[in-house]
Structure 1
Amino acid sequence: MRNDTYEDWKARAARISFRRQAFIDGRFVDAVSGETFDSINPATGQVLAQVAACDAADVDRAVAAGRRAFEDGRWSRRAPGERKAVLLRLAELIRAHLEELALTDSLDMGKLVHDAATIDVPGSAHFFQWYAEAIDKLYGEVAPTAAGDLALVRRVPLGVVGAVVPWNFPLDMATWKSAAALAAGNSVVLKPAEQSPLSALRLAELAAEAGVPDGVFNVVPGFGATAGKALGLHMDVDCLAFTGSTQVGKLFMQYSGQSNLKQVWPETGGKSPNLIFADCADLDAAADMAAFGIFFNQGEVCSANSRLYVERSIKDALVEKLIARANATQPGDPLDPASKMGAIVDEKQTQGIMRFIAAGKASANLVTGGARVHIDGKGCFVAPTIFDEVRPDDPLARDEIFGPVLSVVAFDTEEEAIRMANDSIYGLAASVWTDNLSRALRVSERLHAGTVSVNTVDALSAQTPFGGMKQSGFGRDLSLHALDKYTALKTTWIKYKS
């Protein structure tokens, strides 16, 4: 557990400086247009930096650099052990710059600096290390053939990978895409979210320091409608990995069809259900994790457990426990380790959350929260909010709010709970709380979700794939399976004299 104080973090914040330019072909450069955009601290409204606003011309430069690097083999044909050593150095550099990277993400998008320092940045270092260590342990295949034939099946890098990542976990999401793509031998062009571009730019600088060759890892900050669209439509991008909204994920699928049929791997929206049965052994633990599942990172989590289905006989008792936990999870200055919740990423997102809350007050029972909060008269903060007696067809229970808003729905039977949980366009994650092993297995099998967590919420690790079903997309991050989307199967068939 870190012992940094509020004064420690404020002192670091006063000293920090940010990279503002795009990182292309091993150096920081202005956008071709010379245009910039403001990166704003949502907790204070302060402009942190004026960042290069890249567009199609800059994407062209970055893709061309990535293609040159891929074709000459400076990374793609480098010995696996050498690539491993470089990425291991990058993992150590991330650890060495932990405070700087944690502070960057906290200032840039409002998350608690304590969470960034204990979860996000260590996680990014871990994932780079994990994929680095996998590089020289991946083997090809020899297919069964007749005498005189030898068929070798290998996984080969695709070429240039475009990665478009969201603002809720800026460094982590950049890592989830880049670590696997680089480990596989690709060049990467990363487009961070315009709300939170700063840690990705620093990551690029650390990658160069670790020994990633020029042109292999490029970062083009900019807007989705310009830089993001340009990556999606680019004729020389071989693969596009995306995490974000379902609406934008569908656009990238269209861009592929309109251009070169590049692979698109979307990990999109979610409205994850959490099912708590009366035979749950520890209702306090269930309440703790239900609160964590919706209030962590201000609810700005694609797999947030935002739909809570509770067996009717225990609903009132559980709701009382949740109200107490919500009251103890109030927003505060993200730099203060005593704060329990940070700022919403920007004004637009804050207003969107408040519109859902305003509509919910007329359709459901608001039991706690529901207000916008200011810290020292400033900032984009929303109190942790719980609605009870939510109808299954209410937008509160159907739409992705992406904020600290929990919808509680009672159920009477296991069948009813499963039906309501599956009645969604999304299928990213789900949770089940029960002390009955048969029920845990039975319900988990029937829930349409990429990950089902039993007696916990939102479980993930480097060893297990993360991704969803239905309109949550079909991309998979983490685990060795993530390497599938950044490689192609290549068969070499050899005839020989037997």
Structure 2
Amino acid sequence: MKSYNMLIGGEWVGAASGETFETENPFTGKSWATIPRSGVDDVDRAAAAARKAFNDPSWSGLSASARGALLRRFADLLAANADRLAEVETQDNGKLIAEMRGQLRYMPQWYYYFGGLADKVEGRVIPIDKPGVFNFTREEPLGIVAAITPWNSPLMLATWKLAPALAAGNTILWKPSEFSSASALEFGRLFEEAGFPPGVVNIVTGFGSEIGSHIVSHPQVDKVAFTGGDRTGQGVYELAAKSIKPVTLELGGKSANIVFEDAVLEDAVKGVVSGIFAASGQTCIAGSRALVHRSIYPAFVEALVAFAKTARIGDPSSENTQVGPITTRPQLTKVLEYIEIAKAEGATLALGGKRASDPACGDGWFVEPTIFTDVAPAMRIAQEEVFGPVLAAIPFDNDEQAIEIANGTIYGLAAGVWTQSISRALTMSQRLRAGTVWVNTYRAVSYMSPFGGFKRSGIGRESGLSAIREYLQEKSVWIDISGTVPNPFVQR
């Protein structure tokens, strides 16, 4: 058993109570490390450390260019440690080593990008309509950012928050998921090594049910950036509103992968498989609804089932594995429950539908890649986020019906469109109510392009130029240059 401490004020410490909890490997089903179980006292310590660092000249006195240099130095260290961190993530959350290595090797680009952007944030000189006055604006950091991140892609989703927040000059109180804290704590060591002042990045570990509310409502916290389910996100939003805190929320999805009759069938099959069975469906952008034109529906489903059957399920640390385990025991139970709900509602099971029994899965928490056909748009399997390898295949008759079905959920995070018509591609990308629309591809992200949701899929944007604005506040400065003070009883 490996034992971890958490990072508060530049020191590696246990919880004030001395309590810990065990983190489990989803492939073996066994505990492999102990993590500090923080309480409200630990949150208070971290918030105080973040505030002290925010006010300290060692951070607040840095030029924007110097902050950018720190971020680029961190990116170099991250690149050098990418494979090691990927192995920790795979052990802790069961994601495929091939995907985790890809994510970790790509992740430094966020720190390079926002490191370069740090000194490109500029205010404006406004040609104000008041004579004898000079007016300009400043872009300033918000203060302490509470970053609350989930278990499915822990370091990537934290990076989407940390890189722009640090580039803008904020300090961080980071609470990773209790199911995937080990990689966050390993990650924290790189901030020390890069030379960030103590307290700029603080990591508290523990259970959201015990410390989450205290973090969000903490009087020292100036902004909350949360990724997770929409119900929890709603609670975060409501709690933050009580103290008028700005929030960034990246929440759930029920994304539609829409296949038109003119699509290249083989490519569309691969795209649908990528959308739902990659990462075992445990991604907010999962294309969990396949909307297929009725004229090609039978042929497409046949090809889809045949291809999905070839997916190699097993040890996520093997480069050959394509479908790994479900990350947590509660999530395994939830996915299996939704499969039973779909059966009860009358959907037809075309593939999978149970816990995997392949010897390659050992004692892990695996669910077979599952496809349901004869799904009606109103069924729960087509409306609610399952967050597992479960696909609802729905036929449609024309473009209008495809748009109606695709937009007919409470979510609006992403959508896929498979067509050879540029006119249809542009029309669909305009009319789909989703923050990201992919055409003839799926699951592509970049540090250069904004990411976020419509409707209950979230508020705000991560990545791209838009992201740094989420962590800044604008100040207007007025300077009298007339040399005279007008009537003090009349607004100037």
Aligned counterpart for 1:132 among listed residues 105, 115, 119? 115
Q: Does 1:446 align with 2:435?
A: no
Letter of the structure 2 residue corresponding to residue 322 of structure 1: L
In 1, the alpha carbon distance for the partners of 2:159 and 2:361 equals 34
Deviations 1:285-325 (A, max 9, x none): 11111100111111000011111111001111111221122
In 2, the alpha carbon distance for the partners of 1:377 and 1:158 equals 48
Aligned residue number for residue 355 of structure 1 = 337
Aligned residue number for residue 59 of structure 1 = 43
Contact kept? 1:75, 1:186, Cα under 8 Å: no
RMSD: 1.4
Q: What is the CA-CA distance between 1:115 and the residue it aligns to?
A: 1.1
Residues 290-305 of structure 1 aligned to structure 2 (within 5 Å) = 290-305=272-287
Contact kept? 2:2, 2:34, Cα under 8 Å: no
Letter of the structure 1 residue corresponding to residue 443 of structure 2: D
In 2, the alpha carbon distance for the partners of 1:43 and 1:347 equals 11
Letter of the structure 2 residue corresponding to residue 393 of structure 1: A
Q: What is the CA-CA distance between 1:18 and the residue it aligns to?
A: 5.3
Letter of the structure 2 residue corresponding to residue 74 of structure 1: S
Aligned counterpart for 1:312 among listed residues 272, 294, 298? 294
Secondary structure of 1:379's counterpart equals coil
In 2, the alpha carbon distance for the partners of 1:279 and 1:303 equals 24
Q: What is the CA-CA distance between 1:460 and the residue it aligns to?
A: 2.1
Residues 155-166 of structure 1 aligned to structure 2 (within 5 Å) = 155-166=139-150
Contact kept? 1:18, 1:198, Cα under 8 Å: no
Aligned residue number for residue 408 of structure 1 = 393
Contact kept? 1:191, 1:227, Cα under 8 Å: no
After TM superposition, the score normalised by the length of structure 1 is: 0.94
Which deviates more from structure 2 when the two are superposed, residues 369-378 or residues 36-45?
Answer: 369-378
Secondary structure of 2:300's counterpart equals helix
Aligned residue number for residue 12 of structure 2 = 28
In 2, the alpha carbon distance for the partners of 1:164 and 1:430 equals 25
Aligned counterpart for 2:248 among listed residues 237, 248, 265? 265
Contact kept? 1:232, 1:252, Cα under 8 Å: yes
Aligned residue number for residue 477 of structure 1 = 462
Aligned residue number for residue 14 of structure 1 = none
Letter of the structure 1 residue corresponding to residue 456 of structure 2: Q
Aligned residue number for residue 488 of structure 2 = none
In 2, the alpha carbon distance for the partners of 1:130 and 1:325 equals 38
Q: Does 1:232 align with 2:212?
A: no
Contact kept? 1:462, 1:479, Cα under 8 Å: yes
Q: What is the CA-CA distance between 1:213 and the residue it aligns to?
A: 0.6
Aligned residue number for residue 68 of structure 1 = 52
Q: What is the CA-CA distance between 1:123 and the residue it aligns to?
A: 2.5
In 1, the alpha carbon distance for the partners of 2:82 and 2:147 equals 23
In 1, the alpha carbon distance for the partners of 2:312 and 2:269 equals 16
Structure 2's unaligned 5+ residue stretches are: 484-492
After TM superposition, the score normalised by the length of structure 2 is: 0.95
Aligned residue number for residue 173 of structure 2 = 189
Residues 247-258 of structure 1 aligned to structure 2 (within 5 Å) = 247-258=231-242
Deviations 1:119-152 (A, max 9, x none): x202321111111111122222111214532211
Residues 242-391 of structure 1 aligned to structure 2 (within 5 Å) = 242-258=226-242, 260-280=243-263, 282-362=264-344, 363-374=346-357, 375=360, 377-391=362-376
Letter of the structure 1 residue corresponding to residue 110 of structure 2: F
Q: Does 1:43 align with 2:27?
A: yes
In 2, the alpha carbon distance for the partners of 1:20 and 1:449 equals 40
In 2, the alpha carbon distance for the partners of 1:434 and 1:99 equals 37
Q: What is the CA-CA distance between 1:19 and the residue it aligns to?
A: 6.0
In 1, the alpha carbon distance for the partners of 2:289 and 2:355 equals 21
Which deviates more from structure 2 when the two are superposed, residues 328-337 or residues 166-175?
Answer: 328-337
Letter of the structure 1 residue corresponding to residue 337 of structure 2: R
Structure 1's unaligned 5+ residue stretches are: 1-16
Aligned residue number for residue 121 of structure 1 = 104
Secondary structure of 2:205's counterpart equals coil
Contact kept? 1:272, 1:306, Cα under 8 Å: yes
Aligned residue number for residue 392 of structure 1 = 377
In 1, the alpha carbon distance for the partners of 2:69 and 2:460 equals 28
Q: What is the CA-CA distance between 1:257 and the residue it aligns to?
A: 3.1
In 1, the alpha carbon distance for the partners of 2:481 and 2:2 equals 59
Aligned residue number for residue 80 of structure 2 = 96
Contact kept? 1:123, 1:172, Cα under 8 Å: no
In 2, the alpha carbon distance for the partners of 1:55 and 1:271 equals 34
Count matched residues.
479
Letter of the structure 2 residue corresponding to residue 24 of structure 1: I
Aligned residue number for residue 110 of structure 1 = 94
Percent identical: 43
Contact kept? 1:164, 1:242, Cα under 8 Å: yes
Contact kept? 2:173, 2:201, Cα under 8 Å: yes
